Structure 1
Amino acid sequence: MKPLSIKDIAKKANVSITTVSFILNGKAEKMRISQDMIAKVEAIIKEVGFRPNQVARSLRTGNTNTIGLIVEDISNPFFAAIARLIEDKAYKHGYKIIYSSTENNLEKAKGLIKMFKSRQVDGYIIAPMVGMEEDIRDLLSDRTPVVVFDRHLPGLDVSSVLVDNVEGTYMATDSLISKGMKNIAFVTVDIDVEQIKDRYKGYEKALKVNKLKIDPKLCKLISFNNTAEETTTELTRFFSDNPQIDAVLFATNYLAVRGLFSFREMNKQLNATFKVIAYDDHDIFKLHSPTISAVDQPIEEIAENVISLILKELSMAHSFEEKELNNIVLSSRLIER
């Protein structure tokens, strides 16, 4: 039996082939096709089990209606939440998301860009790492739509969606100081990215403003390549060696989670004389007793802005107009629990 075509769907719905094409490509609302008509055509598509020939469409339009999403670690709750929102929002506009993790490995990151190129994705959303500059410049020179988020690489003329990390850790540190904490530790990770450096800057700034000494012994650097157990062991040793610590600001949520394991091993209580704040919220922080305060990044806003920018760039991909760069910086909020 010959497979159904767009022409068959159009005939069954009593509409033009163009109308069906717009609905299939996620352009119905843009072309002002009524919701009733969209629902009618979609119901017929579902009823007959129609599957558009993606290869034929790609050859005809030069588009695959896919976007490559490259992040540091898709299992990290922050990136997982953003990926899910981006996927939902992209789907509503007729795009699918293919995503993968760099695991902070430059060779893997470069390989992912090559892989996405071979799959002919229409655009890229990247949480970049140092060393990817040339690969991203190559994409931009080919007029391939690219939006970076979460972190930015200096010297790259690319649209970005960032969060003010300095402001976030400044708020957190200042809050701890206002509660009488004087020996505040900062636990961070050894990856060379701007947002991690900025989180330290916010911590440092708050100490200086409040005229507290910056003690290098209270700043703990954890290897990104550590196993969870290795991180817990290192933190237990760090807190045992520095009993004067009365508060801790963790630069990432996964470090804070390992910190909670460490405190349990040490039988160390979180109370009025020992406080913790994590950068990036996590469900565990709401369930833990006592609950854990967190610097909360605006995940919904990040995803919304990322999709808006990449769709704008995709719409101009074949235009000779000068591309307008958009650099959006969002604010985080401190959730005090």
Structure 2
Amino acid sequence: MGKRISINSIAKDLGISITTVSFVLNGKAQEKRISDKLVKKVMEYVEKSGYKPNSLARSLRTGKSNIIGLIVEDISYPFFSTIAKEIEEKAYKNGYKIIYSSTENNIDKTKELIEMYKDKHVDGYIIVPPEGIEDEINALYASGKPVVVLDRTLKDVEVDNVVVNNYDSVYKATKYLISNGFKNIAFVTLNSLQSQMLDRLSGYEQAIVEQGLMPYIKEVSYIDSEQAKKHILSFIERKVDVLDAIVFATNYLCVSGLKALKELRLHIPDKMAVVSFDDYELFEMYSPSITSIAQPTGAIAENAINLLLSRLKKQGQDKRNQKVVLPTTLIIRESSEK
């Protein structure tokens, strides 16, 4: 009792070869023409003995761990947690398990996570990368591991990619505000060089320039919601006699902005219209409800895992990388109506 059961001990107790036991446990009995009677004998022994295979040893033996590594910015954010759940469900149905971690946009932490996943011999990676991690992702790809980059793009990194049309989304949202009579529209974004943030800023600037309006841009170095609120509140106070609308580049910036507007007693939308990039379930229940650019989380997750599964099934066959660009939906609610 307490002794770990091994393939060797199963083979010895049943009087058969280690290779035969290995073929049965790895689902190759039919391929190797092992009789149903012998398969049943092995499986009954396994069930009674409580044998559990060593996953690392099996991955070294077969070259597959049936594990996918998912690395996101912050798993606590609704956007990433929703995508992670849907990826996990689809992966499980296809015989894969997911292990996931958060980078918090920290380059060193991301490098450590990639090394940890390499040690676990994961079969493929879905990564939401911070800037500065290009070499590591290129090295993974060069090693033959399939990689899908999610939510953003990286310069000089040629791997499969799933993003939304960030530029077009914010461009249309800003144009909608302008058509609704708002002319002094601010854009509150992160102080970031991430591709999706730059694209959202460009969409806002293009819509403003086309109408000959004045841009009002506030970049926030996000530490936490309270610090973000203070920076946004200070910005609004300086422009309170000018601004009539604000577009927030993320839903968590919008949450901080709503706190700032409440503290300043600026009623939405009478004193300030609000639009958030990335919908959030509480925005629908907020009073007034918040107009949002909704990302298709289901389609993002499905495309990401489908690309990776396709690569895993056809490893090394198709070197052409795919870029999937998905549309968003502008959900118009009370916060943007005059």
The 1-side partners of 2:92 and 2:74 are apart by 22
SS in 1 for 2:276: strand
Q: Which moved more, 1:272-281 or 1:306-315?
A: 272-281
The residue identity in structure 1 corresponding to 2:234 is: R
Residue 198 of structure 1 and its aligned partner are, at CA, apart by 0.2
Cα shift at 1:137: 0.9
Sort the Cα spacing of 1:331 and 1:240 in 2 relative to 1 into closer, same or farther, 3 A: same
Instruction: Provide the C-alpha distance between the structure 2 equivalents of 1:178 and 1:288, rounded to a whole number of angstroms.
Output: 24
**Contact 2:59–2:121 (Cα < 8 Å) also in 1:** no
Contact 2:152–2:195 (8 Å) recurs in 1: yes
In the alignment, is the contact (CA less than 8 A) between 1:150 and 1:163 conserved in 2? yes
Q: State the shift of 1:251 in Å.
A: 0.2
Cα–Cα, structure 1 residues 56 and 248, in superposed 2: closer, same or farther, change >3 Å? same
Whether 1:289 aligns to 2:290 is no
Q: Secondary structure at the match of 1:192?
A: coil
Q: Give the fraction of aligned pairs with identical amino acids, expressed as a percent.
A: 45
Amino acid at match of 2:201: Y
TM-score (normalised: structure 1) = 0.83
CA contact (8 A) 2:126 2:148 kept: yes
Assess, with a 3 A threshold, how the Cα gap between structure 1 residues 229 and 124 changes in structure 2: closer, same or farther.
same
Supply the RMSD in Å over aligned alpha carbons: 2.8
Task: Quote the Cα distance in structure 2 between the aligned partners of 1:132 and 1:201.
Answer: 24
Aligned length: 306
- Structure 1 portions without partners, runs of 5+: 8-16, 24-44
1:1-337 aligned within 5 A: 21=26, 51-209=52-210, 211-215=211-215, 218-224=216-222, 226-243=223-240, 244-317=242-315, 319=316, 321-337=317-333
The alpha-carbon deviation at position 66 of structure 1 amounts to 0.9
Question: Which runs of at least 4 in structure 1 moved beyond 6 Å after TM superposition?
Answer: 1-7, 17-20, 45-50
User: Secondary structure of the equivalent of 1:291?
Assistant: coil
Distance 2:186 2:175 in 1: 13
Query: What is the CA-CA distance between 1:73 and the residue it aligns to?
Result: 1.4
Q: TM-score, normalised by structure 2?
A: 0.83
Q: Counterpart of 2:235 in structure 1: which amino acid?
A: F
Secondary structure of the structure 2 residue equivalent to 1:258? helix
Residue 204 of structure 1 contacts residue 214 of structure 1 at CA under 8 Å; is this kept in 2? Answer: no
Query: Which string of whole-angstrom CA distances, capped at 9 and with x for unpartnered residues, describes residues 50-107 of structure 1?
Result: 7554234323311111111111111111111111111111111111111111111111
Cα distance change, pair 308–214 in 1 and its aligned pair in 2 (3 A)? same
Whether the 8 Å CA contact 1:124–1:146 is kept in 2: the answer is yes
Matching residue's letter, 1:166: Y
User: Structure 2: how far apart are the matches of 1:155 and 1:277?
Assistant: 33
CA distance in 2 between counterparts of 1:174 and 1:199 reads 13
Structure 1 pair 220/59, CA: closer, same or farther in 2 (3 Å)?
same
Quote how far apart the aligned CAs of 1:22 are: 5.3
Q: CA, structure 1 residues 265+47, in 2 after alignment: closer, same or farther (shift >3 Å)?
A: farther
Cα pair 2:105 2:129 within 8 Å, conserved: no
Deviation at 1:5, TM superposition (A): 9.6
> What is the CA-CA distance between 1:322 and the residue it aligns to?
4.2
C-alpha spacing 1:46/1:306, structure 2 compared with 1 (3 Å): farther
Q: Structure 1 46/297 Cα, relative in aligned 2: closer, same or farther at 3 Å?
A: farther
Relative to structure 1, the CA distance from residue 307 to residue 46 in structure 2 (aligned partners, 3 Å threshold; closer, same or farther) is farther
Q: Could you tell me whether the CA contact under 8 Å between 2:56 and 2:120 is conserved in 1?
A: no
